[in-house]
């Protein structure tokens, strides 16, 4: 087993890192540090995920090699985001805790430039920077890179994704030709390899884990559900893992906000992080998440960049990312620093091909798991509760004075009854909630999309006070339903356009949404009224037909089904 001293790290640094809990070098440190301790160090091209310990891999040798007599920039570390830039600065400050002569400056956008100028002018030997602000400071002639000995490009793929290609080139061109360059990246796209070709001189290639693959200790699982059940599946997952601490990735800002709002409304400890929050709002959410005051953070890929949290138990892909490589980034946020992590994908059958592409990229199998049933969840929650009771700390001093009265009040109950009651007090809401829960699984073999659904989830029939005299066409009505409900894939059943009014059917899981979304809407200056109609033609098990297109059945002269606001059997709301 190697030690930090064994790979050449000096005692004052070892003392500092041991105090922050490092006991022995991580694999990337064992590989990189000995190269960087050499006098004539080679360039390095390292394929490594975040969380592998790469900051210390380049940071410890840089701290040790810094010439404290010299007051100009010797080492430059470039990273894509303010958060990562600050994280690197903090880490380096920690390693150099007992080397007070070392000055490290952080240079990043969105903060006062004057403070950063001051920090550099104080004689910073190490600068941790994001590319945009660094260029600004170079142009102002505050930063001079002519004496830089080593440049580190951290999360280089992210820097390219964020559009810093030209900035990187411009910065690298201002550093000395004979400097030493270290490139760290979680993935190695072609564009990055061409930069490496141009700027790295015969580099030593180091790979921690497989090329473009996920970290070894991450398990990849998938729950296959119908499109419309995505959110229900998410809630089941959150309930099935009561101690979950993770990020839920969404594709758009809107989806992020919607999922976070729904989770909050349903009583989960969640919040959203997306691009156009102010820096202060971002910091507040991130801090709460770091402190575990938020258990589930809903985020877009861009917003989650630079969010550095080590002990996430799960990553949830609410939707798969548009670009496959982003999956590696997402999943790399769990299973860090040697811990076990799980990357969960909520998917539908149409995405099967993309799952195969991901499997190829991560070189691992994605395990297909059944969505936990209501019963599974109740069982899990019950034992979680029992566990909590077993482990709860009792504050004798505070509780002692109340106990005699409590004992007296509960005297008539024996041990078994008492346990039953205590457990039920907490547990009943889960039983209640899940008692009529449906099976959310979408069968993977066989094409049927109807199987796996509870038979009770059919269509609800609505009355609308518009008809042929208003020139209402099925296509217009479908457009209204999609627009007003904002549900992309809502399933629409039969449409009957009559003279003065019409009927339409939609997925009964969205009955309330449809009713709410038609409130206060006007059509050609007429106030629109929509109500649940009696299900005259109808059985609750009418076959569902998916109709997002403009085709409709336009049955003539069907008698009005009545306008009483009564829910059809098919319209019965699911418990979940």
Residue 104: CB minimum distance to ligand AMP, A: 15
Site string for ligand AMP, 259-298 (x = CB under 6 A): ----------------------------------------
Shortest Cβ 32–ligand AMP spacing (Å): 11
C-alpha span between 541 and 555 (Å, rounded): 19
Angle at 296 between CA 295 and CA 297, to 5 degrees: 120
Residue choice 16, 46, 56, 186 for contact with ligand AMP (CB under 6 A): 56
Distance CA 431, CA 379 (A): 10
223 with 291: CB under 8 angstroms?
no
Three-state DSSP class for residue 285: helix
Please report how close the Cβ of residue 53 comes to ligand AMP at its closest, in angstroms.
3
How many whole angstroms separate alpha carbon 365 and alpha carbon 385? 33
Taking the complex as a whole, the smallest distance from the CB of residue 449 to ligand AMP amounts, in Å, to 42
Count the residues of the shown chain that bind ligand AMP, applying the rule CB under 6 A: 15
Show the CA angle centred on residue 215, arms to residues 327 and 217, nearest 5°: 120
* Minimum distance, C-beta of residue 287 to ligand AMP, in the bound complex (Å): 16
Going by C-alpha positions, the residue among 451, 414, 463 that lies closest to residue 564 is 463
DSSP tag of 491: -
Distance CA 528, CA 522 (A): 5
Nearest-approach distance from CB 362 to ligand AMP, in angstroms: 18
Nearer to ligand AMP by C-beta: 56 or 218? 56
Instruction: Report the residue number, 4 or 462, with the smaller CB distance to ligand AMP.
Output: 4
Binding ligand AMP by CB under 6 A: which of 7, 9, 32, 53? Answer: 53
**Residue at shortest CB range from ligand AMP:** 55
> In sequence order, which residues have a C-beta less than 8 Å from that of residue 434 and are 6 or more positions away?
374, 375, 377, 378, 575, 576
Residues 6+ apart with CB under 8 A from 53: 25, 26, 27, 28, 29, 337
Minimum distance of ligand AMP from residue 84's CB (angstroms): 9
For the purposes of burial, counting CB atoms within 10 Å of the CB of 556, is it exposed (0-12), middle (13-18) or buried (19 or more)?
Answer: exposed
Among 7, 22, 107, 517, binds ligand AMP (CB under 6 A): 22
Q: Are 93 and 12 in contact (CB under 8 A)?
A: no
Rounded CA separation 143/134 (Å): 8
Please state, in angstroms and as integers, the Cα–Cα distance from residue 169 to each residue in 45, 175, 297, following that order: 17, 10, 35
Quote the least distance from Cβ 7 to ligand AMP, whole Å. Answer: 11
Site string for ligand AMP, 393-422 (x = CB under 6 A): ------------------------------
Kindly tell me which residue out of 7, 13, 25, 63 binds ligand AMP, with binding defined by CB under 6 A: 25
For residue 96, give every residue at least 6 positions away whose Cβ sits within 8 Å of its Cβ, in sequence order, or none.
Answer: 13, 16, 63, 102, 104
What is the DSSP code (8-state) at residue 418?
A: H
Cβ closer to ligand AMP: 26 or 120?
Answer: 26
209 binds ligand AMP per the rule CB under 6 A: no
**51 vs 214 by CB, closer to ligand AMP:** 51
**Matching residue, tokens 């490594």:** 48
Q: What minimum distance in Å lies between the beta carbon of 93 and ligand AMP?
A: 13
260 or 312, CB closer to ligand AMP?
Answer: 312
Stretch that binds ligand AMP, among 54-62, 314-322, 444-452, 534-542 (CB under 6 A): 54-62
Establish if 26 lies at the interface with ligand AMP (CB under 6 A): yes
Q: Of 87 and 116, which has the nearer Cβ to ligand AMP?
A: 87
Pairing of strands 459-464, 530-532: antiparallel
CB of 100 to ligand AMP, least distance (A): 21
Are the C-beta atoms of residues 518 and 530 closer than 8 Å to each other?
A: yes
Q: Which of 9, 36, 54, 312 binds ligand AMP (CB under 6 A)?
A: 54
Residues 33-52 that bind ligand AMP (CB under 6 A): 50-52
Q: Is 481 in the site for ligand AMP (CB under 6 A)?
A: no
Min separation Cβ 9 and ligand AMP, Å? 10
Calpha distance 282→464 (Å, rounded): 44
Query: Of the two residues 53 and 374, which places its CB atom closer to ligand AMP in the complex?
Result: 53
- Residue 23 CB, shortest distance to ligand AMP, in Å, is 6
Nearer to ligand AMP, 306 or 561 (CB): 306
When the beta carbons of 53 and 571 are compared against ligand AMP, the nearer one is 53
83/255 with CB nearer ligand AMP: 83
In whole angstroms, give the CA distance from residue 492 to residue 331.
36
Smallest distance from ligand AMP to CB 308, Å:
6
CA distance 330 to 220: 12
**DSSP label at 182?**
E
65 and 39 Cβ atoms separated by less than 8 Å: no
Q: What does each C-alpha distance from 2 to 39, 51, 93, 105 come to in angstroms?
A: 21, 20, 24, 32
Beta bridge partners of 554: 495
Stretch that binds ligand AMP, among 22-30, 35-43, 165-173, 483-491 (CB under 6 A): 22-30
Distances (CA, A) of 37 to 30, 46, 62, 321, 432: 12, 16, 9, 40, 63
Residues 435-454 that bind ligand AMP (CB under 6 A): none
Minimum distance of ligand AMP from residue 30's CB (angstroms):
9
Q: Which of residues 311-350 bind ligand AMP (CB under 6 A)?
A: 336-337
CB atoms within 10 A of CB 455: 10
Q: Which stretch binds ligand AMP (CB under 6 A): 17-25, 263-271, 413-421, 444-452?
A: 17-25
Site of interaction with ligand AMP (CB under 6 A) = 21-22, 25-26, 29, 50-56, 310, 336-337
């Amino acid at each position: 087993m190697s030690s930090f001293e064994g790979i050449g790290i000096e005692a004052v640094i070892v003392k500092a890192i041991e105090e922050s809990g490092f006991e022995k070098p991580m694999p990337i440190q064992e590989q990189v540090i000995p190269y960087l301790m050499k006098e004539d160090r080679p360039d390095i091209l390292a394929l490594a995920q975040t969380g592998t310990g790469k900051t210390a891999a380049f940071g410890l040798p840089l701290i040790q090699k810094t010439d404290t007599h010299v007051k100009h920039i010797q080492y430059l570390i470039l990273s894509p985001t303010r958060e990562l830039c600050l994280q690197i600065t903090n880490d380096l400050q920690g390693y150099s805790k007992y080397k007070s002569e070392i000055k490290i400056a952080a240079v990043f956008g969105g903060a006062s430039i004057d403070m950063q100028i001051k920090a550099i002018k104080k004689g910073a030997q190490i600068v941790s920077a994001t590319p945009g602000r660094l260029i600004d400071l170079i142009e102002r002639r505050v930063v001079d890179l002519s004496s830089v000995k080593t440049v580190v490009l951290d999360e280089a793929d992210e820097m390219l994704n964020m559009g810093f290609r030209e900035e990187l080139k411009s910065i690298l061109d201002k550093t000395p030709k004979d400097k030493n360059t270290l490139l760290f990246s979680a993935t190695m796209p072609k564009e990055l390899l061409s930069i490496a070709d141009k700027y790295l001189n015969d580099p030593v290639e180091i790979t921690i884990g497989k090329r473009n693959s996920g970290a070894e200790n991450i398990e990849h699982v998938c729950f296959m559900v119908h499109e419309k059940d995505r959110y229900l599946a998410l809630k089941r997952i959150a309930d099935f893992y009561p101690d979950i601490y993770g990020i839920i990735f969404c594709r758009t800002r809107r989806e992020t906000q919607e999922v976070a709002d729904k989770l909050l409304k349903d009583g989960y400890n969640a919040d959203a992080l997306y691009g156009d929050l102010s820096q202060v709002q971002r910091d507040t959410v991130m801090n709460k998440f770091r402190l575990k005051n938020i258990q589930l953070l809903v985020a877009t890929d861009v917003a989650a960049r630079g969010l550095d949290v080590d002990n996430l138990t799960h990553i949830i892909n609410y939707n798969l990312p548009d670009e496959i490589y982003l999956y590696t980034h997402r999943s790399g946020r769990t299973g860090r620093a040697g811990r076990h992590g799980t990357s969960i994908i909520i998917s539908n059958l149409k995405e099967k091909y993309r799952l195969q592409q991901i499997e190829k990229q991560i070189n691992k199998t994605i395990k297909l798991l059944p969505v936990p049933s209501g019963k599974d969840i109740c069982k899990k929650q019950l034992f979680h509760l029992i566990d909590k009771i077993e482990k709860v700390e009792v504050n004798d001093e505070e509780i002692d004075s109340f106990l005699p009265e409590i004992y007296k009040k509960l005297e008539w109950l024996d041990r078994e009854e008492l346990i039953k009651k205590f457990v039920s007090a907490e547990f009943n809401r889960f039983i209640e909630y899940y008692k009529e829960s449906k099976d959310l699984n979408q069968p993977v073999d066989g094409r049927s999309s109807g199987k796996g659904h509870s038979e009770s989830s059919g269509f609800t029939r609505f009355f609308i006070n518009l008809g042929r005299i208003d020139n209402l066409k099925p296509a217009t009505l479908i457009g209204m339903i999609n627009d007003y409900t904002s549900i992309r894939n809502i399933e629409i059943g039969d449409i009957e356009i009559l003279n003065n009014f019409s009927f339409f059917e939609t997925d009964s899981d969205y009955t309330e949404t449809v009713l709410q979304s038609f409130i206060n809407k006007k059509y050609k200056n007429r106030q629109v009224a929509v109500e649940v109609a009696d299900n005259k033609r109808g059985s609750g098990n009418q076959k569902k037909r998916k109709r997002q297109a403009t085709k409709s059945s336009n049955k003539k002269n069907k008698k009005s089904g009545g306008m009483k606001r009564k829910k059809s059997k098919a319209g019965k709301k699911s418990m979940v």
